[in-house]
Structures are given as C-alpha cells and as structure tokens.
Structure 1
C-alpha cells in the first residue's frame, strides 16, 4: 500500500511539473525541459560508466545542456542576425567531444564519442521537440499539442499495463520485456484513441488529427519503451535511476516520449 501511495504521489508531482511548465509560458517550458535534459543526461552517463570506462561525463552533460539551450535561443531569435554565432558554437560541440577523448587514454574512444553524440540525439532533441510543439506564444492554449501528445503517451502506458495485467496472455517481445503482451498493446492503443477523442472534444481541435496522432504515438511509445528495455538489459540494470520513487529514473519516464515526440512533430507539420 505504501509503495502504491509513493508511486502515485511521485507521478502526480512529475505530471504537474510538466503540465505547469509547458502551460505557464515559453520560458517555464524551456526551464522544465532543460531540467529534464540535465537529469536525463546525468543518468545516461552514470549507467554507461563501468570500471572507470565510458564517455566523459562533464563534456557530455555540459555539451548536451548547451545544445538544448542553444537550440531554444536560436529558435526564439531566428529573425535576429546577431545570433548567427549560436549555430556556429553548436556545430563545434561534437568536435569538443572528439578532442576531449584524445586526451583521456581510454580503451574504447570511438565508442565513447558515439555514446556522447547518441545521448544528445536520444535525449536532447526529443525534449527540444516539445518546446517546438509548445510554440512561442505566452498563453496556456498554445501548450495543448505537447501536453496532448504526452497525455496519449501516458494513457497508452497506463492502460497497456492494466490491460496486460488483467487480460494479457500472448507475449509481445519476450526477449526484451517478458511482461508486455499483445493484449496489453491493443488495450493501450484503444484507450489512446479514446484519449485522442477527449483531447479533441475538450480543446475544440480537429478530431481526425488527434485520432491519427494516437495511432502514431501509441506504437512509437511502445517501441521507445522496448528500446530502453534493450539498453538496460545490455547494461544488466533494472532502472535507469531512482530519482522518481516508484517510477525509476528520468529515462524510464521519458523513454516513450523520446520516440513519440519527433513523429508527432512530423504529423503536426504535415497536417497544419
């Protein structure tokens, strides 16, 4: 009972922080997502450290935060020619990682560079996508797109778990996640469609868009979850961290979003 209470309270605080951050204004959205970028990168570099081997933490985390900040500033000031130096600095960041590895004398330098660059692609870019979806306007309704997408992700995650728990019999991907079932997957998708309908109903936005979004986001969320399961199994760990009691780490909570957000952005661009 205590574990359920802790998990529930953690989930409420986590969701409230995201929704308030995305809703308040564009700067609060950048601040909250920037916080998760930093925490997510810290987790990533911690789980890939083994016996003094692995990618360089300080360069990777600092570079990732700078990349996120630079992307946000460039996007906010796109028409201002004075910010041309920001993309130039961002373009130099991968070379900083490569140069740093020259002086570390580690056994797997190419792997370390690859992991550092992958961490930016895997964590930084999808969370920046949420900022793009949020838009620049400082009024709450602008946040409906990233929040709506996240609601579909969370709905899929919750009801895939519940459907699998009560009806699951057929394993979906036993090699990576023995508890996931086809019955749970179908249940998550159906409730995701219901979430899309409710988002459209209460927001007044196009129903077809949100139903298509649900059909894209739900499978992408499952793939994102399976990918992180594969990563954790390869490292022989259960959770990416313990910063969220009852939920694991930041990567555990955003694994589905990392895959769903870019696809949702593509749909948004095509549709609107």
Structure 2
C-alpha cells in the first residue's frame, strides 16, 4: 500500500471554494477594492453587490442608498443610487465608517474591479445582482473576456436564466433564503436546474440546541448535494454562524462550497480540518 504525503493528500482532496459574503463586511469595508484584494489574497472569491448609477455606471453597493456604508452628505444619504451620477458617488468615502484605517476608499466601478481580475486568470468574482441592466452587464463582462471567472448570483431563477442566455460562459447561482429552501429548491429541481450552475442555501441556527446546529437538516443537505451532483451542479451553503464542530460536520457531508462572513476565521478553521484529514 502506498502512503500519501500530506502534500499528496491535500492535492487529492476536492478543492474547497469559499465566497466572501457581502464583501467580508465583518472584516473589511464592504464593496471596496480593499475587500476584493483581501478575499483574493486569502484564497477566496470576493462578492460585489452591483447597482447602476443614473449615468449607467455599474458600481459596488449593497443598499439602495449610500447612508449605511459611506460618508455621503445629509442631502445625499437617502438618495437612491439610481438617481446619483458616478461623479457624485465618487465624492463619498466608502471606508471611513468601517475604520479610520480605510479612510479614502472609494465606491468602485465594476469595470475597475474587472480590469484587475483580467490580470489574474486564477481568480474569480461573485456578482450579487441588486439593480443593473443585465444586457449592459453581459456586454461589460464580454468586453473583458471574463465569463469563466464570473459567478452571477440572485434569488430569482428568471434572472439567472436571463444572464445565462446573455453570457453563456458566466456561471449562475440561485441563492435561497431561510424559510424558502424546500419550495424553491423543489421548483429549481423540477426545471432540471435550468441555466443554473450552483444553488446556495442559507443556514440559520435552529432555535433549540442539539447535535446538529442548523434549521436545515443534515439529511436534507445530503439529498440536495446528491441531486445537484447528479447533474454536475454544485451546492453552496451560507452558515451565518459556525464553529469548528459545525463547519467540520458540513465538510464531512461533502460540501465543498461555502459563503462566509468571517473569511479569516473560516480559513483558520479549514486549516485545522485539513490537518485532521492527514
């Protein structure tokens, strides 16, 4: 019998992918270039929430207004992003509310991020659809030739279908929130997971303590993973809270895609899991 070295064993293991959910906003100012670089350097895939300005520039912004995350003036705080020009958006500081350390961070245009991504074919990027013209988005991705590095995400299956039609190389992910999982997953299954590459399930903690942490049961996750694997699709989970035991349990099921709010903690925990496997 040939024994695998630690390096060989890791090489034989399926790769574990992780998304920096909402631009790692627990560790970095969300939807900034700093957050993108942070996730890439940790070995993950950053997420940028995409909206469009009044003059047609696609930017990174989660909320419909700049109030929560930027230094926008009182006059602009409650103004819709769709009513602001890109020049107005660039006047705001997108880092200072998170930490003085990030003073000067700007709300990036998606094109600025794609220009960086184009120089790194090994990197990927999640685009969480908020409010953009999908034809314009597809044209922008195509201009940079980045389809295979992009994962388009939304909770509406029809938007994923539209994006796949406009940009066939782009992978699409349907995310399903707590409370809608069984129904929406069944609906997607009925279509044969039409135009989907990944389904993400949101994992909230169960109210009562027990051996299994989450509302979504272990058996259900195993069945969902099996259904998706049969059609060469992938299952991703977003555990809003995890510790070593709960993360190890998800990995033991065979889940290899995660979205996390604390990337650094996730990477450290994942390292301990891999050491246990050697």
- The TM-score, its normalising length taken from structure 2, stands at 0.28
Q: Counting helix residues as a fraction of each chain, which structure ranks higher?
A: 1
The structure showing larger relative contact order (alpha-carbon pairs under 8 Å, at least 6 residues apart) is: 1
Going by fraction, where is strand more abundant, 1 or 2?
Answer: 2
